[in-house]
Amino acid sequence: MKLVEFLPLEMVLPDLKAERKPALLVELAQACAEFSTEVDPERLIRVLRDRERLGSTGVGDGVALPHGKLPGLSRLLVGFGRSRVGVDFESQDGQPAHLFFLLVAPEDSSGQHLRTLARISRICKTAAFRERLLDAVGQEALYSAILEEDGRE
C-alpha cells in the first residue's frame, strides 16, 4: 500500500493560512471537499473535531495526522498541508505542528484506515524527510518529496 494511491497532487497544500487548530481543520476539510464531491465540508469538519476531542492527532516532531471516518465516502482520501508559521496542535512534545497529513476514510474501512495512518507515521519519523517537506518550494516539490519517500519501502 502506497500513499500515492490516495494522495492526489491537488490535495497537496504548500501554504496553509490557518494559525489555530479549529481554523486549520476547516481549511483542510474545505480543500478535501473541493477535490471530492463526496465530501461535505461541514460533516468532515465535525468528524475531525470529534476525533480531536478524543485526543490530539499532533504526534510531535512538527507533524499532525488529523483523520476520521466519513459515512458515504467510497474511497480513502489523503491530503497534505504545510504551515510555515506552525499551529499549536496540542502535540505530545508541546511543539507546534507544521506538517499535516489529512486522512479521510470510508466508515467501514478500519484496516485500510489504520494501515494508512501507520504508513504516514512511519515515513514521518525520518528527520531528513520532515526537513525536506519544510524546505520544498511549491506544490510539485512537496508532492515529489512525498512520492520519493513513499517509494523507499
Q: Alpha carbon of 88 to those of 18, 107, 148: distances in Å?
A: 11, 28, 28
Let me know if 67 is a catalytic residue: yes
Nearest Cα residue to 35 out of 61, 8, 14, 58: 8
Among 67, 82, 113, 119, the one annotated catalytic: 67
Say how far residue 130 (Cα) sits from the centre of its chain. 13
C-alpha cell at 131: 526537513
Q: Position 57: which residue type?
A: T
Q: Alpha carbon of 23 to those of 26, 29, 44: distances in Å?
A: 5, 10, 13
C-alpha cell at 120: 504516514
Task: Name the residues annotated as catalytic.
Answer: 67
